[in-house]
A and B are shown apart, each in its own frame.
Chain A
Amino acid sequence: MHHLAEHERIVLTGVGLVAPGATCLSEFRANLLAGRSGISTIDLRYMGTVPAGICSFAETKYRKKKENKRGTRAGCIAVYCANEALADAGIDFSGYDRAETGVYLGLTEHGTVETENEVYNISRYDYNVDYWTHHHNPRTVLNNPAGEITMNLGITGPHYSVGAACAAGNAALIQGTQMLRLGEVDLALCGGISECVGSFGIFASFRAQGALAEHPDPTRASRPFDLARNGIVISEGGCVFTLERLDRARARGAKIYAEIAGYAMNSDARDFVMPYGPRQSECMQRALQRAGLEPRDITIINTHATGTRQGDIEECKAIRQVFSDCPDTWINNTKSSIGHAMGAAGVLELAGNLPSFTDHLVHPTINLDNLDPDCNLPGIIANKPKPLDKPFTILNNSFGMVGINSVVIVKRFDEK
């Protein structure tokens, strides 16, 4: 990708996000550098109290409470993130046409929360479906959160969701990049959203699988690579990026966070839940190849590791295989601070690392007290940030159930 024309080079120019403990990138970055966990607990129907990442933000900053009530939690998060991203990018649609703007959101799932709530609602009316809400279908169609953004902003270009389990955030970012390169749109709002903490079923299913984190102190529950890790902490959250072609971004004097350098997605084609390192390493290699980079050119690897026994080991094996002789490659994990934001994970975690290009720090993986020898990678940054001379690239891993892998590589924007 070294010889792309300006209009084929895609840059990231705005970030809007909501994470446990943060409502904008600067807050998020400050938490990550300070090693502050955003995890608390949730008391959920049928589940009792469990660790979870809950987001608190100005829900009525960009639309009325009435619209939040009618829509979904995912839609509410999405509308906030999209507006924040546009504001951050300085885009007010005077220079971009709303008809030439696309909205692409990654979702791990959608409709689970709304369906559970409705079943609970009719349980109070002897399961009489006359009491089932007419809002059910518009709330649960898969394009709902992206569609809520278009209604809020009057965007008339395409909008849809990309379903790719926990690789979905990256998948949407890749989709946005591709649509810009194809000339299908001039501006892409892309990212990922999670409202998963509203679903007892998602918690219960992870628990049944032996993959739901437990810890007396919720801020210590998410601990990828640690010997005492015992599963996933589920979080809600969202992150939306504005993506533009370099020529258009330059013409309007946009601030450029990073350039999309390469990406790849592939499938394990093996198992419903178990990750598969060899395919993950193929995915990383393919992304590197597309970016025209060697493994040693990667400054930061932001891992997907969720804190499950097998998942973390499998990813470490994959990284070890690709990055065997890379003394200047550093490895971190954002889930240790914010839990697993599912469809939002890939993009939120990428966002949390973007400031490395300006503050020259690698944020640490927290709660790493006793490194699992099977996760012992030489470059893991534990508990304290690491200063660097000049970070050049970030490789972001995101993998998901039913064997879907995604890798996105971004690089520091270089005028040349």
Chain B
Amino acid sequence: MTRGEIRNVILEIIEDIDEEADFETLDPDKPLRDQLDLDSMDFLDIVMELRKRYKLQIPEEEYPELATLNSCVHYLEPKLKDC
């Protein structure tokens, strides 16, 4: 998957969690939690959805890698390159 595709997947998963999420003003370098109505349980939803879609197991100590949209893309790029 390309970086753009990964970005779209993340946004799609967030939209599935909260369809009212507003991505218009989203700064990809700022924490998602500061900009959207997301909490720790929602992040677990993102982790679960990645597991379901791509059989991706993200270890708990690496959850901070999912903090911003860009860090998600950066972290997931090598893991999803063959998807």
Contacts and interface: CB of A to CB of B under 8 A. Distances in A.
A64 B21 CA distance: 11
B19 A70 contact: no
Instruction: Please report whether the interface of chain A is mostly helix, strand, loop or mixed according to DSSP.
Output: helix
A131 interface: yes
Interface in A126-159: 130-131, 133-135
B14 to A, nearest CB: 10
Given A134-B41, A135-B41, A65 B48 contact: no
B45 to A, nearest CB: 8
B-side interface size class: 10 to 19
Interface string B40-57: 010011001001100001
A66 B20 contact: yes
A69 interface: yes
B5 interface: no
A133 B48 contact: yes
Given A125-B52, A131-B51, A133-B48, A64 B20 contact: yes
B52 A131 contact: yes
Contact of A65 (B20, B44, B57): B20
Contacts of A64: 18, 20, 37
Given A66-B37, A125-B52, A134 B44 contact: yes
Contacts of B51: 130-131
B17 interface: yes
Interface residues of A, number: 11
A70 B19 CA distance: 13
Interface in B24-51: 37, 41, 44-45, 48, 51
Contacts of B52: 125, 131
Nearest to A134: B44
A125 B41 CA distance: 21
Contacts of B48: 131, 133-134
Interface string B1-29: 00000000000000001111000000000
Interface in A63-97: 64-66, 69-70
B57 A130 contact: yes
Interface string A105-133: 00000000000000000000100001101
Contacts of A134: 41, 44-45, 48
Contacts of A130: 51, 57
B44 A69 contact: no
A69 B17 contact: yes
**10 smallest beta-carbon distances between A and B, as pairs:** A66-B18, A134-B44, A65-B19, A64-B20, A131-B52, A66-B17, A134-B41, A130-B51, A66-B37, A133-B48
Interface of A: 64-66, 69-70, 125, 130-131, 133-135
